Amino acid sequence: MTYQAEFRVWRGDSTGGSFESYRVEVHEGEVVLDLVHRLQATQAPDLAVRWNCKAGKCGSCSAEINGRPRLLCMTRMSTLSPDEPVVITPLRAFPVLRDLVTDVSFNYAKAREIPGFIPPAGLGPGEYRMQQEDVERSQEFRKCIECFLCQDTCHVVRDHEENKSVFAGPRFLMRVAELDMHPLDAAAEAGLDRRATAQDVHGLGYCNITKCCTEVCPEQIRITDNALIPLKERVADLKYHPLVWLGSRIGLRRKD
């Protein structure tokens, strides 16, 4: 089936812009990125858009389609109404560089703020041993392709620019949770309290678990239920649970 679709694409840069309307031919089985490429080839050769793998694994082609953060390469035209315009805009939470390309360096700055995995003292490469259930628990979070759709849809980042300096966002709070759940992470022994830093440095308290990050994740990672809520519970335990508080004072480590 072939039909003509109306595309309304935001064109501009950091100084401002506007929507441009195009009529594009749509073929059966195509995704939005196919149509963006057709636009570039036939009507708008200077249209700026990021993309790489076209397989939903690189996270490059993030944008907003009809107001919803999505991957252009994973949004099938068959899921959109042929009778309504397809409106494409850049990610709203980040500064626009040009057209559909945004400056997502905020996310890389936040990534650098999170200390990496700290191996136990005395264990060398190849000597780590974990239970399969522990592997599976953190493996879900490792599916993240860093498309930053969760960062974009999080209203703490999206609607409040002033929060960016004190809030890491769901993607990187998920990273903190993953490391805190890791049975071999020796951060505590090295003097690093990941739970305390999640609250005091990375802004965990700003998250009010609306699950909007989970809803837009193209990898179906249950960010809120499996990472953010458990991390919040651990932070609450750290501050308010009397036995956990006592254990932290006498050097006991809780095994979650």
Compute the distance between CA of residue 7 and CA of residue 59 in angstroms, rounded to an integer: 22
Model pLDDT for residues 177-231, shown as the tens digit of each residue: 999 999 899 999 999 999 999 999 999 999 999 999 999 999 999 999 999 999 9
Q: Which residue, 68, 59, 74, is CA-closest to 87?
A: 68
Asked, for residue 254, whether it belongs to a domain, the answer is: no
- Do 90 and 10 touch, CB atoms closer than 8 A? yes
**CA atoms of 173 and 18, how far apart (whole Å):** 34
In a domain, 256, yes or no: no
Specify the pLDDT at position 250: 67
Parent domain of 155: 105-249
Q: Are residues 122 and 193 in the same domain?
A: yes
> Averaged in consecutive runs of 10 residues, what is the pLDDT profile of the chain (256 residues)?
94 96 96 97 97 95 97 97 97 97 97 94 84 87 96 96 96 96 92 94 95 97 96 85 66 54
Q: Is residue 64 part of a domain?
A: yes
Question: What's the pLDDT at 237?
Answer: 81
Q: pLDDT tens digits for 154-164?
A: 999 999 999 99
For residues 59 and 110, membership in a common domain is answered with no
CATH number at residue 174: 1.10.1060.10
Verify that 21 and 90 share a domain, yes or no: yes
pLDDT at 122: 85
Tell me, what's the pLDDT at 251?
Answer: 59
Among residues 102, 128, 144, the one where a domain terminates is: 102
Instruction: Identify the domain boundary among 80, 102, 124.
Output: 102
193 in any annotated domain? yes
Bridge partners of 23, per DSSP, are 6
Total domains, the chain: 2
Same domain, 163 and 219: yes
Q: Is residue 122 domain-shared with residue 77, that is, in the same domain?
A: no
Residue at 97 is within a domain: yes
Is the domain of 127 the same as that of 56? Answer: no
User: Are residues 186 and 77 part of one domain?
Assistant: no
- The model scores a pTM over 0.85: yes
CATH number of the domain residue 7 falls in? 3.10.20.30
Domain shared by 236 and 129, yes or no: yes
Residues 121 and 92 in one domain: no
Same domain, 213 and 244: yes
Q: How confident is the model at residue 238, as a pLDDT?
A: 75
Strand-pairing partners, residue 24, are: 5
Q: What is the 3-state secondary structure (H, E, C) of the chain?
A: CCEEEEEEEEEEECCEEEEEEEEEEECCCCEHHHHHHHHHHHCCCCCCCCCCCCCCCCCCCEEEECCEEEEHHHCEHHHCCCCCCEEEECCCCCCEEECCEECCHHHHHHHHCCCCCCCCCCCCCCCCCCCHHHHHHHHHHHCCCCCCHHHHHCHHHHCCHHHCCCCCCHHHHHHHHHHHHCCCCCCCCCCCCHHHHHHHCCCHHHCCCCCHHHHHCCCCCCHHHHHHHHHHHHHHHHHHCHHHHHHHHHCCCCCC
**Is 217 among the domain residues?**
yes
Same domain, 135 and 227: yes
Q: Which of 51, 85, 102 is the last residue of a domain?
A: 102
With respect to residue 255, please indicate whether it lies within any of the assigned structural domains.
no
Looking at residue 127, what is its pLDDT? 85
